[in-house]
A and B are shown apart, each in its own frame.
Chain A
Amino acid sequence: MILPLRVEQVTFAAGGRAIIDGVSLDIEAGPSTVILGANGAGKSVLMRLMHGLLQPTSGRIAWRAAGPRRHQAMVFQRPVMLRRSALANVAYALQASGLPRTESAAMEALQEVGLAHVAHRPARVLSGGEQQRLALARAWALHPEVLFLDEPTANLDPGATREIENIIKAFDAAGTKIVMSTHSLGQARRLGDEVIFLHQGRVAERAPVDRFFPQPASAEAAAFVKGELPWA
């Protein structure tokens, strides 16, 4: 177990501006965590800091125990597919993580996301929704303890979004801790157990979903929930 993840007084500045400003929080195993906030609130940067893709300007980010890289995986808003088949993309993720690069393991992951029928098609010619499912298959193959998802459905139509959300639920059911950023209130409600609301690089509020939406405690969150509702 590499969880919990402890974020202590983390600041991340770029170009003289603090994008993440003194954030402290613990990410525990179990309930799905949704990082909610407007564009520019710092959601993506916070996820990248936690996943280790960015180094904090100050503060500390520490896992309970150091584990191999494959214990955490991340799916990005725009997935990057290698120029090879869908199956080979999953096999690459297996190999990169030091797991046996077996076709059966790769195929099983593709089946899980409903892409077994395009296993031998080049990944880059798949549709946007299929590519995002393939990105989830690459993560699935690693059986990570934590899965970071950075606005995974921001570029997708409602049908593809529903498929992605179902796969995310399957990760949750399989015991993977979900940490997902989104600006969609509906998605936060459907997938989240708790909400971390970011506003201008700070945690404005952290609450269980069933308390956050009816009664947001902070003024910023209240405004966001109210303003966003018509589009949720």
Chain B
Amino acid sequence: MLENIFIDPRLWHIVALSLGVSISAVALATLLGMPLGAAIAVTRFPGRQVLIVVLNALMGLPPVVVGLFIYLLLSRAGPLGSLGLLFTPQAMVIAQTILVLPIIAALTRQAVDDAWREYEEQLRSFGVEGLRAALTLLWDIRFSLLTAVLAGLGRASAEVGAVMIVGGNIDGVTRVMTTAIALETSKGDLPLALGLGMVLIGIVLALNAAAHLVKEAAQRRYG
């Protein structure tokens, strides 16, 4: 009965929504988190060490807490309630962006910090500092940064708590792989749950394999 599950359009709808939400969240978090991480790496200001510790700690944000926080913001009585975003895919994207942003920013900060140690004198000798230095470093270590993006995507696609709370697990609207697995398991519909689980693991494996190959090829090409 497991083979029939893969021709079930419900399953593929859920997979598509999951990927849409998680990829959007990771794209947003990358756009915001990479410059943030790079800026922290190449500048020196009071409180920088504290910020780094906080950023690293935020990598372990519990998804349900993020979900609750976004829920409060978006609920009808909340400050952003008038937007009417609660229980929509957009709300899920917002929650996952918050969840993934510290991961991408912290991993980028670490990678750029290491690169800055190597490049600093050379770039400062050229008169390149601050934002320009950060952009140069980001571009130069772009293949290493794939790892940060992947870590973010892994986190986003695997978490249940945040999307469950702000999405509401509404069939056909906000039901994603992880929330569907949780629900189907509790309902006893194990084939759908297992099928989704296999798709989820397959996606994560494929992404990591692709990233590994790109990184290897880049290493050979650019040294």
Question: Are B223 and A96 in contact, CB atoms less than 8 angstroms apart?
Answer: no
For residue B118, which residues in chain A have a CB less than 8 angstroms away from its CB? 80
Question: Are B221 and A122 in contact, CB atoms less than 8 angstroms apart?
Answer: yes
Question: Are A80 and B122 in contact, CB atoms less than 8 angstroms apart?
Answer: yes
A70 and chain B: residue at smallest CB distance:
B127
In the assembled complex, the Cα of A43 lies from the Cα of B81 at a distance in Å of: 64
For residue A82, which residues in chain B have a CB less than 8 angstroms away from its CB? 136, 140
A126 and chain B: residue at smallest CB distance:
B223
For residue A74, which residues in chain B have a CB less than 8 angstroms away from its CB? 121, 125
In the assembled complex, the Cα of A92 lies from the Cα of B132 at a distance in Å of: 12
Secondary structure call for the A interface: mixed
Q: What is the number of residues of chain B that contact chain A, defined by CB distance less than 8 Å?
A: 17
A64-85 with Cβ < 8 A to chain B: 68-70, 73-74, 76, 79-84
Q: Which of B123, B125, B223 contacts A73 (CB 8 A)?
A: B125
B119-141 with Cβ < 8 A to chain A: 119, 121-128, 132, 136, 140-141
Q: Interface 1/0s, chain A 81-101, versus B by CB < 8 A?
A: 111100000001100110000
Q: Which of B126, B132, B141, B221 contacts A93 (CB 8 A)?
A: B126
Q: Which of B126, B132, B141, B223 contacts A125 (CB 8 A)?
A: B223
The answer, yes or no, to whether B45 is at the interface (CB within 8 Å) is no
Q: Which of A79, A84, A93, A96 contacts B222 (CB 8 A)?
A: A84
Q: Please list the residues of chain A having a beta carbon within 8 angstroms of any beta carbon in chain B.
A: 48, 51, 53, 68-70, 73-74, 76, 79-84, 92-93, 96-97, 122-125
